[in-house]
Amino acid sequence: MKIAILYICVGRYTIFWDEFYRSAEKYFLPEEEKNYFVFTDGEIILAQEDNKVIKVFQEDLGWPFNTLFRFKMFKKVEEQLINYDYIFFFNANMLFLDKVGHEILPMEEGLVVTEHPGFYNKKRSDYTYETNPMSLAYIPEAEGQVYVCGGLNGGKAKDYLELINCLEENIQKDYENNIIAVWHDESHINHYILSHKYKLLSPSYAYPEGWKLGIKKIILIRDKNKYGGHHFLRGTSGNTTLFARLKQIIWRKP
């Protein structure tokens, strides 16, 4: 079985890569063949050490375009992705804490999505779907049963490539009409799954650091405040000394 992992770490988000990679190698489908497609404009140390890692140059588009246009990024390697059985995308600041085996794979379904931890055990009225009817991510009040996060999704290669192509086109059409969905790619994913079969993972697979959800922690969403915060990581805060120090500390870990 061949697994493709899509991972974006442009700008200062490169500081998360090393620990993500090591934890994924240890815990994520360890018995299967895996390749990591790393979209980055920075130095990825393990890309030079391990042929499992495929570095794809990606300029830093800034906020919110690094997330909004992620499906456009993925299309750069579409011809390579066809050769895999499954494709998964993970947010840069995720960290595996426990083994993730074949239970994550969709069998009857085509896709895998993850319930958003912020809406765990919440009502439909709490979900922050796109409410602009002019957007291709729009979800009417009478629709939608779960709110999923944008940080972990995947599926069978054929099905996930269909998602990539559809959402890249929808996001581009919205953008050309001066529309950006409220939660960017996440809003479009929530719309897309309304008409597609999917396996739903619990927030155990996207567990925010420091939260208490009362469920098992399998994949941690690392607290960005411990790495300088959102503005620092997005490059809207200039502290280059802090970035160099964080990188030195993280890459020195065994």
Residues known to be catalytic: 186
DSSP string, 78-134: HHHHTT-SEEEEE-TTEEE-S-B-GGGS-SSSSEEEEB-GGGTT--GGG---B--TT
**What does the alpha-carbon distance between residue 116 and residue 207 come to, in Å, rounded to a whole number?**
9
Which of 87-99 are b and which e, b meaning 16 or more Cβ less than 10 Å from the residue's Cβ?
bbbbbbbbbbeee
**What does the alpha-carbon distance between residue 254 and residue 248 come to, in Å, rounded to a whole number?**
12
**What does the alpha-carbon distance between residue 171 and residue 185 come to, in Å, rounded to a whole number?**
8
Tokens (6 digits) for 159: 């099905």
Maximum pairwise Cα distance, the chain: 51
Dihedral of the alpha carbons of 3, 166, 103, 5, in degrees to the nearest 10: 30
Helix (H) or strand (E) holding 244: helix 240-251
**What does the alpha-carbon distance between residue 129 and residue 138 come to, in Å, rounded to a whole number?**
7
Contact 31, 1 (CB under 8 A): no
CB neighbours (10 Å) of residue 113? 26
> Three-class SS of residue 20?
helix
